């Protein structure tokens, strides 16, 4: 197993370099990062051209990639061209290189990109981990319950609801939930759910406030995934519980609960582990649509705002974090396979 893990890590290194170069190239078409400098005092055309030369943006794409990867010297950018680099509109162009953990400075917020992301990642993990717990718990319960009662009224009802929920776009589901549980509940004099932010500023960042603000975003993220996961679990459980070794376990007098959870579910969970392993890395990205609609101050909202302002350092840092997370979680998924099924061995 140790040799397999080392081999996978060594294989991932050139893959990540290739991914980083492809993403770096694609980011060139996002927009002009220099156009966002200056805020209320937009830089003149000649100033933008000077800044572009100072940042090396006039260089060939491969040269820019090397600067981004291994860094270059200190450069403090005089955006407004007044001869002073101490104005609030000026930015630092220092690059130590990604290989040394420096993704550069955010062009919009004028601080290290890692710090910008670090201020948002806790909010995204709060939202996404809560949603993932809800998704896995309800999907397991509904999927297994439906599989053990195949073609019953509950199974048919769950099938209908799942197909409807899976077909609803995320943004439409979010707006429907807001209209029903925020707008109408308030109109009817019922306790209504908040639709923006993580907490009420007048109440402060308390556990109760965050939990109350989590309800609608988590429901939006969970409903569609639960619809898909529960159908998937039902399908794999039906395949397993009709196999010979399950009939043998029952004939030996094992209880139905032990037969389902110890023998059937352990083998039926292998494909589910793959799905979860693919979903977990995107916890770092956040639900872009959901966080934007509910104004949740997380990574998804940061990605959208950075994309609108062509904040290249933050965008690349976010995308590379997701890429590394995909590699790590896929490796962890393979390791979990060996625990669930002793027949699987990596040599």
- 183-230, pLDDT tens digit by residue? 999 999 888 899 888 988 888 888 999 999 999 999 998 888 888 888
Question: Given this model, what pLDDT does residue 346 score?
Answer: 63
- Nearest C-alpha neighbor of 233 from the set 132, 163, 143, 165: 143
Does the pLDDT at position 179 exceed 90?
Answer: yes
Question: Given this model, what pLDDT does residue 218 score?
Answer: 92
What pLDDT digit, counting tens, does each position of 2-39 carry? 787 888 888 888 999 999 999 988 887 777 777 666 55
- In Å, how far are 184, 187, 199, 318 from 179, measured between CA atoms? 6, 10, 19, 32
What are the structural domains of the chain?
A: 25-102 (no CATH), 114-340 (1.10.3720.10)
Question: Given this model, what pLDDT does residue 180 score?
Answer: 92
Question: Given this model, what pLDDT does residue 332 score?
Answer: 83
Does the pLDDT at position 178 exceed 90?
Answer: yes
Does the pLDDT at position 326 exceed 80?
Answer: yes
Question: Given this model, what pLDDT does residue 83 score?
Answer: 52
**Exposure class string for 281-290: b at 16+ Cβ within 10 A, else e:** bbbbbbbbbb
What pLDDT digit, counting tens, does each position of 119-176 carry? 888 898 899 889 989 998 898 888 888 888 888 898 899 889 888 888 888 889 999 9
- The count of other CB atoms within 10 Å of the CB of residue 113 is 23
pLDDT level of residue 73 (50, 70, 90 thresholds)? low
């Amino acid at each position: 197993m140790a040799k397999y893990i080392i081999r996978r890590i060594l294989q991932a290194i050139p893959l990540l370099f290739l991914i980083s170069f492809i993403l770096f190239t694609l980011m060139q078409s996002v927009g002009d990062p220099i156009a966002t400098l200056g805020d209320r005092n937009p830089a003149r055309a000649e100033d933008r051209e000077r800044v572009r030369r100072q940042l090396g943006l006039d260089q060939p794409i491969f040269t820019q990639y090397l600067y981004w990867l291994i860094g270059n010297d200190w450069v403090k950018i005089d955006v407004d061209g007044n001869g002073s680099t101490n104005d609030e509109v000026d930015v630092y162009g220092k690059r130590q290189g990604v290989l040394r953990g420096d993704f550069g400075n955010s062009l919009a917020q004028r601080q290290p990109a890692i710090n910008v992301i670090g201020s948002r990642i806790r909010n995204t993990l709060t939202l996404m981990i809560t949603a993932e717990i809800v998704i896995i718990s309800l999907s397991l319960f509904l999927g297994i319950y439906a599989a053990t009662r195949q073609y019953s009224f509950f199974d048919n009802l769950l099938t209908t609801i799942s197909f409807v929920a899976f077909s609803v776009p995320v943004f439409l589901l979010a707006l429907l939930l807001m209209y029903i549980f925020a707008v109408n509940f308030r109109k009817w004099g019922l306790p209504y759910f908040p639709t923006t932010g993580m907490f009420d500023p007048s109440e402060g960042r308390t556990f109760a406030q965050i939990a109350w603000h989590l309800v609608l975003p988590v429901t939006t993220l969970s409903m569609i995934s639960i619809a898909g996961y529960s159908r998937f679990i039902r399908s794999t459980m039906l395949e397993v519980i009709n196999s010979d070794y399950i009939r043998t376990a029952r004939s030996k007098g094992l209880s139905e609960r032990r037969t389902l959870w110890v023998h059937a579910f352990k083998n039926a969970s292998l494909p589910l582990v793959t799905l979860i392993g693919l979903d977990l890395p995107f916890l770092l990205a956040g639900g872009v649509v959901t966080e934007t609609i509910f104004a949740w101050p997380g990574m998804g909202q940061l990605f959208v705002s950075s994309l609108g302002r062509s904040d290249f350092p933050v965008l690349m840092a976010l995308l590379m974090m997701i890429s590394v997370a995909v590699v790590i979680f896929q490796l962890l998924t393979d390791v979990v396979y060996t625990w669930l099924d002793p027949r699987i061995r990596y040599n």
